[in-house]
């Protein structure tokens, strides 16, 4: 990843003009002057001793830039600064890994009839690690499907209805994919409307929902067609990859790097939150 170092001379304002210094905030829409890139701030991180901001455009593509001069906010040149220091939190409940306020003394509820289904064990473990505390408070259980080829039959057997809702998180749910056709067929089945929600992320596997920076890499390796994706990833990392045990151990190393929602891509975070909201609305 390369970064440019711009100064006040990149802007139309005179070099001696004191530009307003604006702390970067998530969701702020900026234009990077030199490239013309416009996008919303999705994350800020420190890399190589400097602060870097990621801007996601309206098509969902993201580029990273070094903080400093060379940005426009609402059409006005600014000097983009690191995030403002956060005040020390007041005494009280902490936060769960999902960012929710931890409910002190709250016992897990008896499991409700509603369920979250995910495609496999790794998906379930990731959701549990980040949202487990929230789900226990709500009494929602996460169950792995081990693939969605038979999703229609599984949903019919589940018999969704009022008070018995079903949220399904699908890998690689993109237009015109096999997964999207299966989802459309399920949603057209009796009882699904209003009681079943199928959402998905664009990644081949839920592993990719971990932000590369969390793993110390610039981006996830590209695996050629015809090569098992997980095996290819572990091979690229130089990790053991020959057996199912190797793949399981590799996943545990990746999962161990995840501490909170901040370590996951927004495209997964939003979908899981959407499912939880769907299942917990009275």
Does the model's pTM come out above 0.75? no
Q: Which range in 17-31, 100-114, 246-260 is most confidently predicted, on average pLDDT? A: 246-260
**Tokens found for residue 63:** 């580029």
Determine the average pLDDT of the residues in 41-53: 78
User: Do the domain assignments include residue 27?
Assistant: yes
- Do 199 and 127 share a structural domain? yes
pLDDT score at 12 = 41
Determine the average pLDDT of the residues in 247-265: 92
pLDDT score at 13 = 41
Three-state secondary structure call for residue 4: coil
- Do 273 and 172 share a structural domain? yes
pLDDT score at 94 = 64
The whole-angstrom separation of Cα 150 and Cα 134 is 29
- Do 63 and 13 share a structural domain? yes
Query: Out of 11-20, 38-47, 50-59, 156-165, which region has the weakest mean confidence (pLDDT)?
Result: 11-20
Residue 39 has pLDDT above 90, yes or no: no
- Do 124 and 44 share a structural domain? no
Confidence band (pLDDT; 50, 70, 90) for 88?
Answer: very low
pLDDT score at 10 = 42
The whole-angstrom separation of Cα 170 and Cα 145 is 10
Where are the strands (E) in the chain, listed by range?
21-23, 29-32, 37-47, 50-56, 62-66, 71-73, 76-81, 115-118, 141-144, 166-170, 196-200
User: Do the domain assignments include residue 69?
Assistant: yes
Residue 49 has pLDDT above 70, yes or no: no
- Do 144 and 31 share a structural domain? no
- Do 77 and 20 share a structural domain? yes
Of all residues in the chain, the percent with pLDDT exceeding 70 is 83
pLDDT score at 238 = 94
User: Do the domain assignments include residue 222?
Assistant: no
- Do 31 and 124 share a structural domain? no
Q: Decide if 268 contacts 209 (C-beta within 8 A).
A: yes
Strands 141-144 and 166-170: unpaired
pLDDT score at 133 = 85
- Do 30 and 158 share a structural domain? no
The whole-angstrom separation of Cα 7 and Cα 165 is 55
In three-state form (DSSP H/G/I as H, E/B as E, the rest C), the secondary structure along 66-101 is: ECCCCEEECCEEEEEECCCCCCCCCCCCCECCCCCE
Confidence band (pLDDT; 50, 70, 90) for 170?
Answer: very high
Give the tens place of pLDDT for each residue, 90-126: 444 566 665 555 554 545 454 578 899 999 899 999 9
pLDDT score at 48 = 60
Domain boundary among 35, 66, 81: 81
- Do 145 and 77 share a structural domain? no
Domain residues for 156?
115-210+258-280
User: Do the domain assignments include residue 193?
Assistant: yes
Confidence band (pLDDT; 50, 70, 90) for 84?
Answer: confident
User: Do the domain assignments include residue 98?
Assistant: no
Of all residues in the chain, the percent with pLDDT exceeding 90 is 45
Indicate which CATH number applies to the domain containing 18. 2.30.30
Residue 279 has pLDDT above 50, yes or no: yes
Domain boundary among 56, 81, 106: 81
Closest to 45 measured CA to CA, from 71, 26, 30, 28: 26
User: Do the domain assignments include residue 244?
Assistant: no
User: Do the domain assignments include residue 99?
Assistant: no
Q: How many separate domains does the chain show? A: 2
Indicate which CATH number applies to the domain containing 270. 3.40.50
User: Do the domain assignments include residue 55?
Assistant: yes
Determine the average pLDDT of the residues in 239-248: 92
pLDDT, averaged across the chain: 83
Q: Decide if 75 contacts 16 (C-beta within 8 A).
A: no
Confidence band (pLDDT; 50, 70, 90) for 15?
Answer: very low
Determine the average pLDDT of the residues in 129-141: 87
Domain boundary among 28, 59, 81: 81
Determine the average pLDDT of the residues in 205-227: 92
More confident residue, 64 or 15: 64
């Amino acid at each position: 990843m390369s970064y440019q170092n711009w100064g006040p001379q990149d802007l139309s304002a005179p070099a001696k003009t004191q530009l307003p210094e604006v702390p970067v905030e998530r969701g702020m829409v900026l234009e990077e002057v030199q490239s013309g890139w416009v996008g919303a701030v999705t994350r800020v991180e420190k890399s190589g001793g400097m602060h870097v901001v990621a801007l996601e455009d309206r098509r969902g593509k993201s580029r990273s830039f070094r903080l400093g001069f060379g940005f426009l906010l609402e059409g006005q040149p600014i000097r983009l600064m690191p995030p403002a220091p956060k005040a020390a939190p007041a005494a009280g409940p902490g936060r769960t890994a999902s960012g929710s306020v931890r409910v002190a003394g709250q016992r897990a509820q008896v499991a409700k009839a509603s369920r979250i289904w995910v495609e496999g064990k790794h998906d379930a473990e990731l959701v549990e690690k980040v949202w487990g505390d929230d789900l226990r408070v709500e009494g929602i259980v996460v169950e792995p499907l081990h693939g969605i080829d038979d999703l229609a039959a599984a949903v019919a057997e589940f018999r969704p209805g009022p008070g018995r809702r079903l949220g399904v998180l699908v890998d690689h749910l993109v237009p015109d994919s096999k997964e999207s056709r299966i989802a459309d067929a399920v949603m057209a089945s009796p009882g699904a409307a209003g009681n079943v929600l199928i959402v998905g992320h664009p990644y081949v596997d839920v592993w990719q929902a971990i932000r590369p920076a969390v793993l110390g890499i610039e981006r996830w390796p590209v695996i050629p067609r015809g090569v098992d994706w997980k095996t290819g990833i572990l091979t690229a990392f130089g990790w053991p990859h020959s057996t199912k045990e190797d793949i399981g151990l590799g996943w545990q190393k990746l999962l161990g790097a995840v501490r909170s929602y901040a370590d996951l891509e927004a495209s997964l975070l939003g979908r899981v939150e959407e499912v939880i909201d769907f299942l917990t609305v009275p």
